[in-house]
Structure formats: structure tokens, C-alpha cells
Amino acid sequence: MGKKVPKRMHVVQSTTSSNSQSDRSSTLSECREIKRTKGAIYMPEIWALPPGIRLQVDCNQFGQPIDNNRSKFACFLGVLSRTHTYAPIDIFDWRKMPKSKKKDMLDLLKEKFVCPIGTDEWILQSISVKWRNWKHDLKFDYFDPTLPLDDLIKEGDERVNEEQWRKLIMFWLSDEGKVQARKMGCPPTRVETYKKCFPVENGEEAGEIMGTMQTLTNKLVDPSQDVLTRNDGFAISVGADKPERVRMMGLGVTPTDGFEDTLSRKACHRMLMENMAATQKLSEELEACKQQIANQQSLNEVTPPIVSSPPLTSPQQYTNLNLASTNVPQPLQDNCSVVLMSIIHPSKVVAKGHICSMDPTVVVAGEQLGNKWCSVHINVAIDREERLIRSGFMFQTIGEAIGAAVAWPSALVSFTCLLSNHNSICSMKS
């Protein structure tokens, strides 16, 4: 599955067609590689909030968030709607979403934000809209009914659960899904637009044109197959389009944009501006990468001392340990061995390493560490696919950051010795 969500762009494909499924699959993959320019939003700073710390959200008289934290709150609602453990995509109607899932989402939001009483209904409505938009984005970016099922599953977004993605694809390929797509997801053809704008009551001429359109439409297996061409059902019934515009398509659409294989000057200018913006962004990321490499080289010059402890040879020595300390937060120090916990599942260990620095002014991944954050050198990756909370240009996951320093919230950093002592005691008792 891809590591970034494709950006919306119009891609002009060549008129040369191929009957091979593999050719179509490779072409689709190449187009998506070009379109991937921006990473997904995870809001790690919200997931990593320490227990008891919540952000205040104020609402107006309609229950809508306002003031300073409204954007963070709205973004986190979007992240929650795209998290498969809370809002699964294999449920095809929001009205059929289990009440337990909705309750879990509300409970999580109340752990992270202080919301006024009476806003639950607005929150669920907002999540439902974002959830439907998320499924629409998945279909727009990754679904192609001409590809084999296995290729469609492999092309899914990294945030999607594979089993849920498979069920959603099977629904889209079913007759029920196709009927729903015709009603909701497909843009109207020129024939359908003409029927809405010029009903039969407008005159005898409109009635004759409508009859011709209906005859041509009846010959199609699916009315949505009447795509925009010079000889579509509308053009055959009404006549050829004039050189300067395409009828029923709105202002600004010319035959060159709608029919020709070559781009118009307007489309070329738009693509040029997009390419210039992408080049500027790459230049900025390159400078950030150079700065990160320089910072990393300075950190690698500091080698942490290896601290050894005498082995424990008897169960009594384990019992004599101060087990009560496991329930008391211990102060973290430089060069101590630690484990990193997941931001989404705080009880899950994702990596082992040692603390390089806790100085808030130290620069990691192109920005200062800040309060309540640690600079941790990754020694062992337990979950290689866990995404970094602060990802730079070079590293995106725990597996890619082995041997490097990353920034991690202090609330999700624990001593290695606490974890090993707890496991050893449990094994001896059993």
C-alpha cells in the first residue's frame, strides 16, 4: 500500500489503449507515483497528550466550535473518521454504524478535548460527513473497475485496514454498489443535464430531441457509459458543438479541453504553475534535509556509555525489587535505556533505544525538541511500520529511523528495566 495520499490532479492519458491488464495496472501505478506530493495527517500531538491534559473547545449557540482550538478539533475529527478501529469503512451506510463505535469516538474525544454539553450530535454529524468524504476519496484515488481484484487491494491507502478495504471493493463491484454509484458518485452526462434543463413541456422541438436521446440511451448497458466525446448521445441528438465552447458543460470548457488529446494553453499554464509550486516545495524540503543531516552528524558524535548491572540469580532478588516504582512515574535521564510506546495504542511497545537529550532547545527533525519531549536514539525497531510522530524528509517510520535520533513525547517513553522486570517476575510466578 502507498505511503502517501495521492494529490488531486487531472492526468491526460494517451489515446493508445492496451488489452493487457498488467499494462493498465502499471500505468495506474505510475500516474499515482507522480501525484503523491503530500503526506497524510495524523495529528500525533493530540494522540500523545498526557492523561488528564485536554484542550478547551468553545462553541457558539449552534454547537459549532469556535476560537483558537477549532481547527485542531476539526482536523482531529477527520483523523478519527479515517481510523479503521473507530470508523470502519466496510459499513456502507452511516446510519448502520454500531452505537458502540459512535460511543467510543465520543469517549476518545472527551479524553482529548473539553467540549460543551450538548455538542455530541454535531460532532457525530461532522464525523459522518468526513467519513463519507474519506470513502469518496478512496474510490476516486484507488478504485479502477477494469483492474483485477488483487491489484485493487494492493493499491489501497496505508491507513486502510486490508480486510475492510477488500469488503468495500467487493461492494463497489456488486450490482448494489453500481446502482448507488449511479445515484451518488457519477457526474451527470450531457443527456441527463439536458433532460433536467429542458423538459418536454418546453416545446415540440425539445420533445423530439428528448426522444432521440432516449433511443440512444436505451442502447447502452449503463447510461453512465455515455462519456463526453464529439459523438456522444447529446451531440448526435442536438448537433456538433461550436468551436469555442462545449454545450451543457458550463463556462470556460472548450472543445480542446473536452475532446482533444492535446492540452489547451489554459491547461498548460495551470500545469506549469503546479509544477513550479512542486519544485519550490522540493527545494525547501532539500534544505531541511541538509540541515537534518548536519544535526544528525553532530548527535552521532556522542556515544552513550554502556551501563551494566549485576545479574539476578534467584526469585528472591526479583521479589526484593521495589515493584511499587512501576506505578510511579520515574524521571527520565540522558543515556538511559528506554522503550517507545505507540501514540494510538499507548500499551504497545514499538521500539527500544536510549535517550540522547531532553534539552527543549535541541533540534530534531528540523525543529526544536520542546517541553515534554525526548530525543531518543533508536536501537531496535519492534514495529517497523509505526509512523514517527515528528517525521522529517529522510525518515517516516520507526524502521527507517534505526540508528538515528527521533523526537518522542515523554509521556510515551518508559524505562527498559521496568518492562523486563515485570516480564521476568510474571514468568517466574507461572
7's grid cell? 494529490
- Domain encompassing residue 169: 22-185
Residue 227 lies in a domain: yes
Q: What whole-number distance in Å separates Cα of residue 57 and Cα of residue 110?
A: 11
214 & 323 share domain: no
61 & 169 share domain: yes
Residue 283 lies in a domain: no
Residue 15 lies in a domain: no
Q: What whole-number distance in Å separates Cα of residue 66 and Cα of residue 122?
A: 13
Is the CB of residue 125 less than 8 Å from the CB of residue 72? no
330 & 397 share domain: yes
Residue 362 lies in a domain: yes
* Sequential pLDDT tens for the chain (430 residues): 544 444 443 333 333 344 444 444 444 444 444 444 456 788 888 888 888 889 999 888 777 888 788 889 999 999 999 998 899 999 988 999 999 999 999 999 999 999 888 888 889 999 999 999 999 889 888 888 888 888 888 877 888 888 999 999 999 888 887 777 666 656 677 777 777 777 665 556 667 777 787 787 776 655 555 667 777 777 777 777 776 677 777 676 776 665 655 566 666 777 788 888 889 889 988 988 888 888 887 777 654 554 444 554 444 444 444 433 444 445 777 888 899 888 777 778 899 999 998 888 888 877 888 888 889 999 989 888 888 887 766 788 888 888 888 888 888 888 765 444 444 434 444 4
Q: What whole-number distance in Å separates Cα of residue 129 and Cα of residue 142?
A: 20
Residue 343 lies in a domain: yes
pLDDT value at position 425? 37
What phi and psi values does residue 3 have, to the nearest 5 degrees?
-95, -10
CA distances for 158 relative to 241, 269, 330, 334, angstroms: 44, 33, 36, 35
135 & 217 share domain: no
- Considering 212, 227, 259, which residue would you say is the last residue of a domain? 259
- Considering 259, 281, 304, which residue would you say is the last residue of a domain? 259
399 & 354 share domain: yes
SS in 3 state form for the chain?
A: CECCECCCCCCCCCCCCCCCHHHHHHHHHHHHHHHCCECCCCCHHHHCCCCCCCEECEECCCCCEECCCHHHHHHHHHHHHCCCCCCCCCCCCHHHCCHHHHHHHHHHHHHHEECCCCCHHHHHHHHHHHHHHHHHHHHHHHCCCCCCHHHHHHCCECCCCHHHHHHHHHHHHCHHHHHHHHHHHCCCCHHHHHHHHCCHHHCHHHHHHHHHHHHHHHCCCCHHHCCCCCCCHHHHHHCCCCCCCCCCCCCCCCHHHHCCCCCCHHHHHHHHHHHHHHHHHHHHHHHHHHHHHHHHHHHHCCCCCCCCCCCCCCHHHHHCCCHHHHHCCCCCCCCCEEEEECCCCCCCEEEEEEEEECCCCCEECCEECCCCEEEEEEEEECCCCCECCCCCCCCCECHHHCCCEEEEEHHHEEEHHHHHHHHHHHHHHC
Residue 35 lies in a domain: yes
Is the CB of residue 408 less than 8 Å from the CB of residue 373? yes
pLDDT value at position 61? 76
399 & 319 share domain: yes
404 & 344 share domain: yes
Residue 173 lies in a domain: yes
Q: Quote the pTM value.
A: 0.46
180 & 60 share domain: yes
- Considering 259, 275, 297, which residue would you say is the last residue of a domain? 259
Residue 416 lies in a domain: yes
238 & 164 share domain: no
170 & 241 share domain: no
Question: Which of 135, 137, 157 has its CA nearest to residue 1?
Answer: 157
383 & 342 share domain: yes
Domain tally for the chain? 3
217 & 158 share domain: no
